[in-house]
Structure 1
Amino acid sequence: MSFKMPKTQNFENHAKYYPLHHFFIMPMALLFLGWTAARMDFSSSQSISESIYLGLLAFLVLLISLLTRLYAIKNQNRIIRLEMRQRYFYLTGSPFYKKESQLTSAQIIALRFAGDDEILELMDKSIKDNLVPKEIKKSIKIWNADHHRV
């Protein structure tokens, strides 16, 4: 049994796609919604109620697919925040709360990719210059890969 090393991660390739969600479930949900909208018929009371029923069903399928992804990402963002609190305490011996209150969630999530040697300096620069996540990620010299992102 051999262990395959993950591909080196960097700014250009860190975005992840979950094939089942991105290339099957969402396209099918959008296709179903479009197909339903195109077939709506308002010529009789029977066809109106069927059209509304199928329209609501198609919209619900789309919402459910979006919500499951949203819940997973929100949960992962909470875990990243906890990891950053632990990491900051490990590196400084101080709680992260003061710095955390000066950063947005998106900045904290972007900062997690920075290596231990540069994260504190980059964190201060992010606060001082109000860097957006993309600028933070592009500033990282030694990328700390995250292969477990949802």
Structure 2
Amino acid sequence: MDSQNYKNHRKFYTPHHFIFLPLLIILEGIGVYNIWNDPENQLLWILFSIIIFLIFYLSIMLRQHYSLGLQNRIIILEFKQRYFEIFKVRSDEVEEKLRFSQIAALRFAYDDEFKILLERALKENISGNQIKKSIIRWKADNHRI
């Protein structure tokens, strides 16, 4: 497996992103095409297109909502645990000063960079994206959803 870095840290789920969703897009295209080119069954094609669109929308929103919501909670718990292991104190005050994007970005840094980037995030309020770009040696997260 390639080592993880800023350019390759995003993850795709092949059946969902490259089979199911493209198939729905194709079906939606067929439905819209036939709305204009099959006037005898236009109402049927409108209904077909609406149903396909709703399936498409729901499949994206539900998958994202549940999996990302759970993942975000786990990321915050990992931050709290890691902060405690490094500094031997609770992270409540520090966590309140950080945005979730900053907390999420810090998980890619090893402990030595974590300390430095955490301090920069608190003092300079750098974004999560800036934190990711500042990481020299990435700590891979290969178990993300």
TM-score range, shorter chain: 0.7 to 0.9
Offset at residue 43 of structure 1 (A): 5.2
Counterpart of 1:130? 125
- The 2-side partners of 1:12 and 1:145 are apart by 12
Identity percentage of aligned residues:
37
- The 2-side partners of 1:25 and 1:131 are apart by 37
SS at match of 1:118: helix
- The 2-side partners of 1:137 and 1:19 are apart by 25
Misfit runs of 4+, over 3 Å: 41-44
Q: Deviations over 1:85-132 (max 9, x none)?
A: 111111112222212121111111111001111212211211322222
Any residues of structure 2 matched to 1:1-150 within 5 Å, and which?
Answer: 6-40=1-35, 47-48=42-43, 50-70=44-64, 71-150=66-145
Offset at residue 11 of structure 1 (A): 1.7
Alignment: residue pair count: 143
Report if the CA contact (8 A) 1:25-1:65 is conserved: no
TM-score normalised by length of structure 1? 0.83
- The 2-side partners of 1:25 and 1:34 are apart by 14
Larger fraction in helix: 2
Report if the CA contact (8 A) 1:111-1:119 is conserved: yes
Offset at residue 80 of structure 1 (A): 0.9
Offset at residue 74 of structure 1 (A): 2.1
Q: Cα gap change, 1:97/1:35 in structure 2, threshold over 3 Å: closer, same or farther?
A: farther
Matched residue type, 1:95: R
- The 1-side partners of 2:20 and 2:101 are apart by 26
Structure 1 unaligned runs (5+)?
A: 1-5
TM-score normalised by length of structure 2? 0.86
Offset at residue 14 of structure 1 (A): 1.5
The alignment's C-alpha RMSD in Å is 2.0
SS at match of 2:10: coil
Report if the CA contact (8 A) 2:84-2:90 is conserved: yes
Range with bigger deviation, 35-44 or 62-71:
35-44
